Structure 1
Amino acid sequence: MRQRHILFANVQGHGHVYPSLGLVSELARRGHRITYVTTPLFADEVKAAGAEVVLYKSEFDTFHVPEVVKQEDAETQLHLVYVRENVAILRAAEEALGDNPPDLVVYDVFPFIAGRLLAARWDRPAVRLTGGFAANEHYSLFKELWKSNGQRHPADVEAVHSVLVDLLGKYGVDTPVKEYWDEIEGLTIVFLPKSFQPFAETFDERFAFVGPTLTGRDGQPGWQPPRPDAPVLLVSLGNQFNEHPEFFRACAQAFADTPWHVVMAIGGFLDPAVLGPLPPNVEAHQWIPFHSVLAHARACLTHGTTGAVLEAFAAGVPLVLVPHFATEAAPSAERVIELGLGSVLRPDQLEPASIREAVERLAADSAVRERVRRMQRDILSSGGPARAADEVEAYLGRVAP
């Protein structure tokens, strides 16, 4: 296939950027020119994947979601910051490429407004990426997230609806907001196995379920347990909703004086010092490569967002979930439970005895482990970045020969 210029538009977020990097690397390896809109936080990794970087300033540098969700007007604020983030990505791409548009616009599901408006402005085909569940006429991740957080569709919030109508109008789009929101691209790359997708049987050839990106790890020094015979537990609440030192203290206390070795990834917002002295079999890091710990883990205790879930399943590790900590975790956590791949701790169960009992019960459940192994096989056989690149090239060949 002849070389193409492909623009990637993505939001600042580990669970959005990282799944795309394998595809970027594979397309660049095949000779395509890749331009990628991102923030300084991910610029080095995007460059290393083989892309030219276009920087934008993220609204989330100063907008702290865990604080906003507690406020009375949280619904309006969260919808509006979503629109502002899309506009920031949109403007950065327009300024960088101007009248020299790419051959294809590839956009993440979060900044889909920016991606679709860029494609419309330049009259170019587009491909959607999603590291979470795909959406079609039968299932919508956006709607599930709004429902789990007690929010309405942005089109039903007057202050947000007017902003969206004005933005779309500037690009000649007069489609009603709800219809625009639900329109489906000719190709969506889904970074999970089809067996994990709700209503999987309703998704047609427009959707390629390629599984998570598991490449780029060879040669990296990996974490090793201090005792080779110790059962290992990984604990994490992700990157956004981790300011809960009491939870991490309870986890440390739960496994003190036990054979378990506990690795806690507490995020950049917490200083490990606030946890106080930890038992000798517990270690805390602001960040650690999950896959290096999961390679040795017997169980993982996490909030349940899709990226963390798939990372654990790719390593064959079952999950104990605490989804109430993260606004976006409910849909994937519910799917984990539906498929029998883990268990849930309620907010009233987050004391040491209950945490330890849940982890040890899960680790001993051979039926759960077998179901997790089947999901692991599905992930490893989904095709990964090579299949994703094949799908993109085939699509380009059909719509822009």
Structure 2
Amino acid sequence: MPISPRHILVVNVQGHGHVYPSLGVVGELARRGHRISYLTGPAFAEEVAAAGAEVLLYKSAFDDFHVPDVVQREDAETQLHLVYVRENVALLRAAEEALRNDPPDLVAYDVMPFLAGRLLAKRWNRPAVRFNGGFAENEHYSMFEALWASHGHRHPADVEAVHAVLADLLAEYGVDTPVKEFWREIEDLNIIHLPKSYQIAPETFDERFAFVGPNFTGLTQDTGWQPPTPDTPVLLVSLGSTFNEHPEFFKACAEAFTDTPWHVVMAIGRTLDPETLGPLPPNVEALPWVPFRAVLRHASACLIQGTTGATMQAVDMGVPLVVMPHFATEAAPFARRTVELGLGYELPADQVHPAGIREVVERLARDTEVKRRVLLMRSDVRESGGSARGADEVEAYLERSGA
């Protein structure tokens, strides 16, 4: 039986891998009559509105913070933790201002702005749901700790300057829980946008975690892209939207497949000038942005950093992966899981040259066992329940919590 409409606030950072996974569940909840206020950056206002939500905007702390530059600094650990806190505070203040006289019945938040999400729920004394487009976290596994380890960083609570800021923030909201304990607290409902079989330590996650699989709302543009001929092997290459300022890598990819049957489509990002790549062979395209799914529909392989958004799109299209998280260490835990599950190969750092790239890609394209495992994972993705299941879980939780 349908439940009465509720007002739901969704809190999310301005990032493709965070906003897009949530849009399916948000759209389904809106379709069922719930009023959704969705707080995010202006870059995603159009997609959020199309999902049926009212858009609330904030100014991201990352607008004036270039991560690739900072990761090389001696104080990178402190600065990266502090900008993360500033991002959460920006979201907190924007939500409080926008909903001062209109508090929601439920706060749903993405895993990255969890500080903002949990503190808003406490401020309004409302139940909370965590959305997660990456690995779920429980008492046995922490995605945050894995990401910090990939950078060689400590827990923010162990960095004196950061701990002081966090402790003050928690105190402002009447929270006297130690920072590390607050960080590891688990919501009673967690919507995970991955199939459970892709999760690390899946057997340790209980009924608080609903693995509903990825959502591709907003990512399904069919531009009509076609390879030169139906039997042309296609390789999609991307370093994502942040760590793509590596012209030498894209040049190596182009050289690797010069005078071969392969057609290579490279998404080089909007900050890299295509002119820096020089003349490209006729079988190589270099574009600021490409419709992933339109190209993946024809691809024999893809070469990506390994983050879950791109990985799940490739799996859903039945495409084996070559992963190389060397330019973005936060991709490392996910890339390792992809290789561990036999869904692709890693391109070692010492093979990031034309001969090495071509050898790994062509070996992958011949590997029928990898292809078989990708198709099995695709079945898991499509049988996880998707947006409808996610909305069912949220509605059931609203009923249980009496919101």
Residue in 2 that maps onto 1:157: 159
Provide structure 2 residue ranges, at least 5 long, that are not aligned to the other structure.
Answer: none
Superimposed CA distance per residue, residues 20-56 of structure 1 (whole angstroms, 9 cap, x where no aligned partner) = 1111111111111000111111111111111111110
Q: How far apart are the structure 2 equivalents of 1:321 and 1:94? A: 40
Deviation, 1:362, is 0.3
Report whether the alignment pairs 1:319 with 2:284.
Answer: no
Residue in 1 that maps onto 2:299: 297
CA contact (8 A) 1:190 1:210 kept: yes
Structure 1: which amino acid aligns with 2:75?
Answer: D
CA contact (8 A) 2:10 2:109 kept: yes
Which residue, 259, 262, 266 being the options, matches 1:260?
262
% identity of equivalent residues? 71
CA contact (8 A) 2:20 2:217 kept: no
Residue in 2 that maps onto 1:38: 40
Please say which of residues 120-129 and 215-224 is displaced more in the overlay: 215-224
Residue in 1 that maps onto 2:87: 85
Q: How far apart are the structure 1 equivalents of 2:173 and 2:221? A: 47
Deviation, 1:221, is 2.8
CA contact (8 A) 2:269 2:288 kept: yes
Residue in 1 that maps onto 2:348: 346
Provide structure 1 residue ranges, at least 5 long, that are not aligned to the other structure.
Answer: none
Superimposed CA distance per residue, residues 182-224 of structure 1 (whole angstroms, 9 cap, x where no aligned partner) = 0000000000000000000000000000111034566733321
Please say which of residues 218-227 and 47-56 is displaced more in the overlay: 218-227
Q: How far apart are the structure 1 equivalents of 2:174 and 2:58? A: 24
Q: How many residues align?
A: 401
Report whether the alignment pairs 1:57 with 2:50.
Answer: no
Q: 1:218 to 1:250 in 2, by over 3 A?
A: closer
- Compute the TM-score of the two structures, normalised by the length of structure 1: 0.98
Deviation, 1:229, is 1.1
Residue in 1 that maps onto 2:213: 211
Q: CA RMSD in A?
A: 1.0
- Compute the TM-score of the two structures, normalised by the length of structure 2: 0.98
Q: How far apart are the structure 2 equivalents of 1:327 and 1:85? A: 20
Structure 2: which amino acid aligns with 1:5?
Answer: H
Which residue, 188, 196, 200 being the options, matches 2:190?
188
Q: Secondary structure at the match of 1:72?
A: coil
Which residue, 184, 199, 202 being the options, matches 2:201?
199
Superimposed CA distance per residue, residues 342-383 of structure 1 (whole angstroms, 9 cap, x where no aligned partner) = 111122111101100100000000011101110011001111
Deviation, 1:100, is 1.9
Residue in 1 that maps onto 2:116: 114
Residue in 2 that maps onto 1:143: 145
CA contact (8 A) 2:219 2:291 kept: no
Q: Secondary structure at the match of 1:86?
A: helix
Q: How far apart are the structure 1 equivalents of 2:322 and 2:220? A: 28
Residue in 2 that maps onto 1:361: 363
In the TM superposition, 1:96-107 aligns within 5 A as 96-107=98-109
Q: How far apart are the structure 2 equivalents of 1:400 and 1:288? A: 45
Structure 1: which amino acid aligns with 2:395?
Answer: E
CA contact (8 A) 2:221 2:291 kept: no
Q: How far apart are the structure 2 equivalents of 1:188 and 1:237? A: 29
Q: How far apart are the structure 1 equivalents of 2:240 and 2:384? A: 25
